[in-house]
Amino acid sequence: MMNEQQLKMLNEEVERTEGILRLAPTWVPRAFMVPGRRLKLHPDDLYAFGKERGGINERWFASTTPADNGPDAEADEGLSYIAIPDGDNYQYALFKDAIASLGEKWLGKEVMDKHGGWTVLTKFFDNKGPIPFHIHQREQHAKDVNKKGKSEAYYFPPAYNQIEQTFPYTFFGLDPSTTKEDIKTCLQAWEKGDNQILAHSHAYRLEPGTGWDVPAGILHAPGSLVTYELQNNEDIFGMYQSVVEDRPVPRDLLVKDVPVDKAYDFDYLIDIIDWEANTNPSFKKDHFRPPVPVQSETEHSQASQGEEAWVVYGTSNYSAKQVTVYPQSTYTLYENEAFGFISMQGRGFIGKQRVETPIMLRFGDMSADEGFVIKNRAKLGVELYNDSMVEPLVLLLHFGPDA
Ligand SMILES: [Zn+2]
């Protein structure tokens, strides 16, 4: 929680900015992945956490979730900071602490009563190759290890995907002809080499400007596009593929979130897989997410100034929208709930705050591409102004549950 002094500073900042707060970039390394180098971080800073910690391949947005990166992780790893100008420098306040103290004002009483805080984790992940085929538990298996289930959703922003890296395909689910015996055989072959589980799945070509919805219990092996991901803020997973790109996956990661006495219970490991959802013959039809333009009176009246589209939708867990403001244009957003934002392209203003999409950032430096808009301001309307002569201003907005 925050002390009086910090609360005073934040309340003054909300007043000064009219509810549009600036957030500092939050970089996260992953020891087991090879970074795709597309997050606009200076190449010399890719291993800023030290080479043993792995390269930086993620950036987290409006995060109240610590990165579960083991004992070597920094105490505040994964957590976002609100940046408050102070002369030529900034004062920083943890977004998580601010929500704990000011959540009722910033998110609304209803959200705090029902969800207890900001429960969506939003990030970019940027990998050179594919992630191992894995699953996030549903509630019924998550509770066995005192965790919550986790769903996720992806969108591939075109401005971050001019380079696709080595494997722009994602395996989702299982072929409808797959039997539980087939998968059991793969899991039993873990130590023999590649357990060939991907032979039972299908890969889909990833298309920049589209996305996918991945509920808990569905196997997936995300490909190499830069992915804007929304998910429930819980760290829970099981890796089901024993070798990826010739790198062995330790069996510990298969049973990381499985009760100790179930580690070799193959029926339990199979049961984690939502069989019906994985073998759905209409998988793409049900889970592919092309953008859906926002149709409303206000939007229509501003059609010459810009456009909005839902890019994450169809779940009550979270949602996300892409807003495009044309060059030399002004566009007003009206939202019912608080939201975080990150700019993909261009420059201009959100309310009184300057927005600039970076070409390159140094680790530890401020950016001007990220922020958070509190609920009352979102409802009043947020004016976006694009002062570029030529480029659109493109923002992604991330919302919590039930927005
Ligand atoms: Zn996942």
Alpha carbon of 306 to ligand 1 centroid (Å): 33
0.85 cut: is pTM over it? yes
Alpha carbon of 49 to ligand 1 centroid (Å): 23
- Residue 395 lies in domain: 292-399
Same domain, 336 and 265: no
Same domain, 72 and 105: yes
Domain end call among 289, 312, 328? 289
In this structure, which amino acid lies at residue 13? E
Alpha carbon of 319 to ligand 1 centroid (Å): 17
Alpha carbon of 241 to ligand 1 centroid (Å): 13
Same domain, 133 and 109: yes
From CA 154, how far away is CA 172, in angstroms rounded? 13
Same domain, 316 and 234: no
Mean pLDDT of the chain: 96
Same domain, 117 and 18: yes
Same domain, 122 and 134: yes
Short-list 385, 365, 381, CA closest to 373? 381
With bands split at pLDDT 50, 70 and 90, how would you rate the model's confidence at 68? confident
Distances (CA, A) of 183 to 7, 95, 266, 353: 53, 42, 9, 52
Domain end call among 230, 257, 289? 289
Short-list 158, 144, 278, 281, CA closest to 211? 158
Same domain, 114 and 236: yes
With bands split at pLDDT 50, 70 and 90, how would you rate the model's confidence at 56? very high
Domain end call among 289, 324, 350? 289
Same domain, 189 and 326: no
What sign does the dihedral 241-217-127-235 (CA atoms) show?
Answer: negative
Alpha carbon of 152 to ligand 1 centroid (Å): 7
In tens, the pLDDT along 261-279 reads 999 999 999 999 999 999 9
In tens, the pLDDT along 167-192 reads 999 999 999 999 999 999 999 999 99
Q: Is 300's pLDDT higher than 80?
A: no
Q: Looking at residue 29, what is its pLDDT?
A: 96
In tens, the pLDDT along 137-173 reads 999 999 999 999 999 999 999 999 999 999 999 999 9
Same domain, 283 and 296: no
Q: Looking at residue 298, what is its pLDDT?
A: 59
Alpha carbon of 336 to ligand 1 centroid (Å): 29
Q: What is the CATH number of the domain that holds 372?
A: 2.60.120.10
Same domain, 299 and 185: no
Same domain, 40 and 184: yes
Count how many domains the chain has: 2
In tens, the pLDDT along 311-344 reads 999 999 999 999 999 999 999 999 999 999 999 9
CA angle 146, 123, 227 (to 5 degrees): 115
Alpha carbon of 6 to ligand 1 centroid (Å): 36
Same domain, 296 and 281: no
Confirm if 236 and 136 have CB atoms less than 8 A apart.
Answer: yes
Alpha carbon of 327 to ligand 1 centroid (Å): 36
With bands split at pLDDT 50, 70 and 90, how would you rate the model's confidence at 105? very high
Alpha carbon of 217 to ligand 1 centroid (Å): 10
Alpha carbon of 220 to ligand 1 centroid (Å): 6
Alpha carbon of 233 to ligand 1 centroid (Å): 12
